Structure 1
Amino acid sequence: MGRISFSCLFPASWHFSLSSQVLPRLLVPSLRQLLFISLVIFLIGLVYLLLAAARGHASFLTKENNFHRRLARVTDLDATDTSNPNLNFGLVVDCGSSGSRVFVYCWPQHNGNPRELLDIRQMKDVHRKPVVMKIKPGISELAKTPERASDYIKPLLSFAAQHIPKYKHQETPLYILCTAGMRILPENQQEALLEDLRTDIPVDFNFLFSDSHVEVISGKQEGVYAWIGINFVLGRFNHVHDDEDAVVEVHVPGNDQQVALMRKRTAGVLDMGGVSTQIAYEVPKTEEVAKNLLAEFNLGCDAHSTDHVYRVYVSTFLGFGGNAARQRYEESFVRNTVTRNRLLGQHVGETAESPLLDPCLPTDLQDEIGSPAQKLYLRGTGDFDRCRQLLQPFLNRTNDTQSSLSGVYQPAIDYRNSQFYGFSEFYYCTEDVLRMGGDYNASKYIQVAKGYCATQWKTLKKRFDSGLYASHADLHRLKYQCFKSAWMYEVLHSGFSFPTNYENLKTALLVYEKEVQWTLGAILYRTRFLPLRDIPQESLKGAHSHWRHSFSFLSNCYLFLACFFIVLLSIMLYLLRLRRIHRRAVQRYTPSSVPWLEMSLGSPTLPVNL
């Protein structure tokens, strides 16, 4: 091979010039080259990042859609899918004055958003019927034999246990809550009944049950639970609203510095049972209400969040239920008749041939009231207006304009911009016999009620035998429908002072195909802290929280880009520093021959040795 020799033609001083100036120009890139290379690397990295993000986001959306579809399958099926392991169950036994009922509820796993409540609904069996069972009489009838309380309630719990998967029993909360029938008993009799339940139920059933899960609730609690139940079903606790929703400005109690919240306007509740009557509705912070008539509570699972803080006026009236009112009316009838007969020497009502006329019973209906020692015979005259007049003194009204039954204070209601729902006797009175449940119209109601009262009893009986009334309407309902129609009307318009032209009252048993009972509100309130305690952390980080995923995704993108730019900038600064060092070296050590090379002055011919 031939070899080229430079040493014979160039001075030694030229060797440095070739090594320190010509060769570095070949090795050190220009600034434009650096920028071009950096731009290419950046674009490649950005494209890779976007492709990865798209794949990740698509995977996330797929998982999220699958999750929500799974939730939809859980909550939207008519029949409850008991094979779903993510489904939770709960039981509430309503021990009322005339009987006890067990309600079985179910809900899917919470979605992880602390602003949302558990999606609780009634469980439905394979026939798409709500899982509910009722027994009679009320538990208060066992006041003298409290040791029978657990045997009395066992059929209800056995019925519920058959519908809930056995492996779920130990995590299924059971609440036994007693209402007005128990409240009228002496405290020692109440406690004896409750103690028997606390002792024996855990022996026979494996539900999540503690001593605090069985109690006699106050009328105030019952009213609040009813208020929670209806507003939950109506979606008034969902604070995402559109322009068509009626909203209200709410100042959270106890925090004067906080900005007012704008959320959906809640509905008021009227509930009349056999023994008591309740009214409950949300009141503004500016309304001063006595503490015994006010319930302030946080329904949300986060105790520090104010999204679900509510201030509700609630009042309960013992003895103002339909059956209790009839009993007070009859006792007054007996007392007044006996006194009058003694004073006048008469025997009115003491025999069936000379009955006492009762305008609150259907025409010609014969009835017996009082004790065996003081029995009275009644015959109905079916006079609705006269019946109303006789009932007004039993309301115990005062002349105070802001008072209701028994003179209890009642905050002002904006009747033009409010909505109320009437349950239990408010619904039964309008629907079971009169068949006009739903939107309440006072003038139509009076007309139909008058017609019923004035109808001959034998005609009403024929209609009943022909099945013209509601399937659960019995002869007791038929006998006292006239009285209860008048009582409901007086309580609503004379007691609670609702105007007769009020158009925003609905009487209901089902709302959106759901039976709304105070028991729904009870389980919602008592399980409000369950969601965030039991949700796996992976669920909170994954498909349950879209906004958290998005935030994390963006944060990772920004972090990646920042690191990428820092590394790229460091490389560029390092290369530029090398270039500056090289230039200083060239300026310091370049010999006089360099200009000759750069000016391309004649260069000698290079001999080639072969």
Structure 2
Amino acid sequence: MDLKSPSKLKLSPPRFSKHKWILNLIIIVVTFVISIGAILAYKSRVSNAPKELYYTVVVDCGSTGTRIDIYEWKWRVKSGNDLPVLLRSYPDKSTKSPLRKKSCSYHCMQTQPGLDKFVGNISGVRFSLNPLIDWAEQEIPVEKHSLTPIFVLSTAGLRRLAHEDANQVLEDIEAVIKEHSFMYRKSWIRVLSGIEEAYYGWVALNYKMGSFRNGSRLGTLGILDLGGSSLQVVMESDFKREEMQFMRSKVGSFEHQVLAFSWEAFGLNEAFDRTLLLLNQTQVLGESNTTTVELGHPCLSSSFMQKYTCYNCSSHDNLGQKKFSNQNSKTAFPFYLVGNPNWEQCKRIARAVAINSSTLAWSEPIEATKCLATPLFSNGGNNAVVTIPTTRFHALSGFFAVYQSLNLSTRANWTNIWERGLELCSASEADMMRSISANQSSLWQYCFQLPYMASLIEDALCLGDKEVIFGPPDVSWTLGAALIEGEYLWSSSSTTTTAENHNSTLGNIEPVYVFLLLLCLLLVVYYNQIKLPMLGRKSAGAGSSLPSYALPKHRPN
């Protein structure tokens, strides 16, 4: 019998091959369903689980002291324009620390005096910064320290120093920051311009009040921010301007046209110093003055008698006008202040420094004229007045601190304010102490601060017809600085986080889904594999891949 070669043999198909396509289809469908379930489970897990937290630390080196704020954030994994979610800011009402000052209404963790008093004195800089940064290191988890940026930003205190002196203080600050565990760059330790400080305050307020939320184009709020040395005003404007105060800003999904103003020497402390110069018009203060001048002040109570050193008087002339020079003198002028209470005179001198008046007739009666121009907003010598489109302003920092201390409503009208001033400054010192909920050591300042703030808003800024709300108390320009200076953290977080999530998807899918997916893939491979023939072995059954055969035995010749 002729033997057929193996290649000519017809192979009988395996029994299961008739239904093989049905089986494969079932496996593919099951695999697809499991994959979809795994993806949906992963997406649900990512959307519902808390996003990765991060922190920023901002140190505010102001004219009256050094303060610190910690911000705890959560990323939004949606789009690159989404602002992060602020979970918590420190310090808050629950913070317990000897650095928390009772007199501090809007910044609670503070060391005094300001760093501008420590030129060439690194020990003083270290003494001011170390307690604040040590506290921040205790509040933030240790494993986050190396990833947490610290921004040390100086304001009016260092702005008024000579350039060389300011740089010396900044170098000393950097040396102290190096001794701690937070992440920093040299560019994060600097002096803010007045416009930057004002802009950061505007960002902080509108972020806090929800004006930057995606999907809404709400009108933004204006801000009035009063510090110890300077005054800032920021608002959004629809008018295109080419002035240095105008800037384009994109925060969140929308672009804003912002007008930002900053005026040195209009803060509460420097404004009071300028009243001393107006009261002392008959004596010109030279570069050095060792003679103590006695002054009767109409905004102080009759029992007030105290030595007072004016550190800002050398930067003004004897009429209280700001001197502009490359070198700011640090000469201190001693006064002996005596209370000579007179409410009408107090209102007049407060108004004079508010509108930056140099007239010798400041003590004459004030004409009841309507504010028709904005002296502080005037554009140089051409007296072009800035249009104020914003109808709602929030008065923060010094404005709010005084309002809170005097137990005024956040929406008190100007009639209420002036009546409260008359009541307060006509009372005895004992009655004043009972009616003011603030640090009693600052009691003597309020009779000047109240009419000064009212004159700033009504006479200098001409915002008497606008809605002015005092507060909220927990808004500071440091929040805006944390957002803008730390933009690299959140603006790229969506892209970075998404990429990281894609790279680690398998690690986040539930293990049971991974197991089932691999099992289905194994079944597909198993039922589609080709079984090779095994020569010399009998068929295992009808389902064998190839029939077996035996070679005939040859007889020996």
- Superposition TM-score, scaled by structure 1 size: 0.63
Rounded to whole Å, the distance in 2 between the matches of 1:219 and 1:174 is 21
Q: Alignment identity in percent?
A: 21
Alignment-derived partner of residue 461 in structure 2 = 496
Q: How does 1:527-538 map to 2 (within 5 A)?
A: 527-534=486-493, 535-538=496-499
One-letter amino acid of the counterpart of residue 415, structure 2? S
Alignment-derived partner of residue 232 in structure 2 = 278
Alignment-derived partner of residue 212 in structure 2 = 237
* Residue 410 (structure 1) shift: 5.2
One-letter amino acid of the counterpart of residue 356, structure 2? N
From 308, 332, 341, the equivalent of 1:381 is 341
One-letter amino acid of the counterpart of residue 98, structure 1? T
Q: How does 1:462-481 map to 2 (within 5 A)?
A: 463=434, 469-470=436-437, 473-481=438-446
The DSSP-based 3-state class of the residue aligned with 2:492 is helix
Alignment-derived partner of residue 224 in structure 1 = 199
Q: Residue deviations 1:540-580, cap 9 Å, x none?
A: 76999xxxxxxxxxxxxxxxxxxxxxxxxxxxxxxxxxxxx
> Does the 8 A contact of 2:56 with 2:486 survive in 1?
no
* Residue 489 (structure 1) shift: 0.6
Q: Residue deviations 1:201-246, cap 9 Å, x none?
A: 21x11211111010010100000000000000111111323xxxxx
One-letter amino acid of the counterpart of residue 338, structure 2? L
> Does the 8 A contact of 1:299 with 1:528 survive in 2?
no
* Residue 475 (structure 1) shift: 2.9
Distance 1:143 1:509, change over 3 A: farther
Rounded to whole Å, the distance in 2 between the matches of 1:485 and 1:52 is 74
Moved more, 162-171 or 120-129: 120-129
From 253, 275, 278, the equivalent of 1:332 is 278
Rounded to whole Å, the distance in 2 between the matches of 1:431 and 1:127 is 16
The DSSP-based 3-state class of the residue aligned with 2:487 is coil
> Does the 8 A contact of 2:302 with 2:339 survive in 1?
yes
* Residue 134 (structure 1) shift: 1.2
Distance 1:475 1:380, change over 3 A: farther
Structure 1 position 155 matched with structure 2 position 121: no
Distance 1:186 1:435, change over 3 A: same
Q: How does 1:266-415 map to 2 (within 5 A)?
A: 266-284=220-238, 286-290=239-243, 292-300=244-252, 307-336=253-282, 338=283, 356=296, 358-362=297-301, 364-369=303-308, 375-383=335-343, 385-394=344-353, 395-396=355-356, 403-405=374-376, 407-408=378-379, 411-414=386-389
Alignment-derived partner of residue 97 in structure 1 = 63
Rounded to whole Å, the distance in 2 between the matches of 1:396 and 1:425 is 19
From 468, 475, 482, the equivalent of 1:516 is 475
Alignment-derived partner of residue 187 in structure 2 = 212
Alignment-derived partner of residue 170 in structure 2 = 194
Alignment-derived partner of residue 184 in structure 1 = 160
The DSSP-based 3-state class of the residue aligned with 1:536 is helix
The DSSP-based 3-state class of the residue aligned with 1:264 is coil
Which structure: larger Rg? Answer: 1
Rounded to whole Å, the distance in 2 between the matches of 1:444 and 1:542 is 62
The DSSP-based 3-state class of the residue aligned with 1:381 is coil
One-letter amino acid of the counterpart of residue 380, structure 1? N
Alignment-derived partner of residue 446 in structure 1 = 418
Aligned residue pair count: 427
> Does the 8 A contact of 2:378 with 2:386 survive in 1?
no
**Structure 1: tracts of 5 or more residues without a match:** 1-40, 75-85, 242-262, 301-306, 340-348, 545-610
Distance 1:52 1:123, change over 3 A: farther
* Residue 441 (structure 1) shift: 1.6
> Does the 8 A contact of 2:57 with 2:68 survive in 1?
yes
Distance 1:127 1:437, change over 3 A: closer
The DSSP-based 3-state class of the residue aligned with 1:277 is strand
The DSSP-based 3-state class of the residue aligned with 2:211 is coil
Distance 1:311 1:194, change over 3 A: same
Q: Residue deviations 1:233-284, cap 9 Å, x none?
A: 111111323xxxxxxxxxxxxxxxxxxxxx2110010000000000000111
- Superposition TM-score, scaled by structure 2 size: 0.68
Rounded to whole Å, the distance in 1 between the matches of 2:439 and 2:80 is 46
One-letter amino acid of the counterpart of residue 361, structure 1? L
Structure 1 position 457 matched with structure 2 position 429: yes
Note the aligned Cα RMSD (angstroms). 3.6
> Does the 8 A contact of 2:198 with 2:232 survive in 1?
yes
> Does the 8 A contact of 1:427 with 1:437 survive in 2?
no
The DSSP-based 3-state class of the residue aligned with 1:438 is coil
Rounded to whole Å, the distance in 2 between the matches of 1:311 and 1:361 is 43
One-letter amino acid of the counterpart of residue 527, structure 1? G
Q: Residue deviations 1:297-323, cap 9 Å, x none?
A: 3335xxxxxx33222101101000001
> Does the 8 A contact of 1:402 with 1:411 survive in 2?
no
The DSSP-based 3-state class of the residue aligned with 2:57 is strand
Q: Residue deviations 1:89-122, cap 9 Å, x none?
A: 1100001111111111111233131231122344
Q: Residue deviations 1:391-412, cap 9 Å, x none?
A: 3332236999554328446521
Rounded to whole Å, the distance in 2 between the matches of 1:368 and 1:101 is 27
Rounded to whole Å, the distance in 2 between the matches of 1:477 and 1:317 is 24
Richer in helix (by share) = 1
> Does the 8 A contact of 2:199 with 2:260 survive in 1?
yes
Rounded to whole Å, the distance in 2 between the matches of 1:407 and 1:393 is 17
Q: How does 1:66-145 map to 2 (within 5 A)?
A: 66-71=45-50, 86-123=52-89, 128-129=94-95, 133-145=109-121
Distance 1:57 1:113, change over 3 A: farther
Distance 1:94 1:142, change over 3 A: same
Q: Residue deviations 1:440-478, cap 9 Å, x none?
A: 4211111112111111113223x1xxxx643xx223431
Alignment-derived partner of residue 256 in structure 1 = none
Rounded to whole Å, the distance in 2 between the matches of 1:542 and 1:146 is 47
Rounded to whole Å, the distance in 2 between the matches of 1:412 and 1:508 is 24
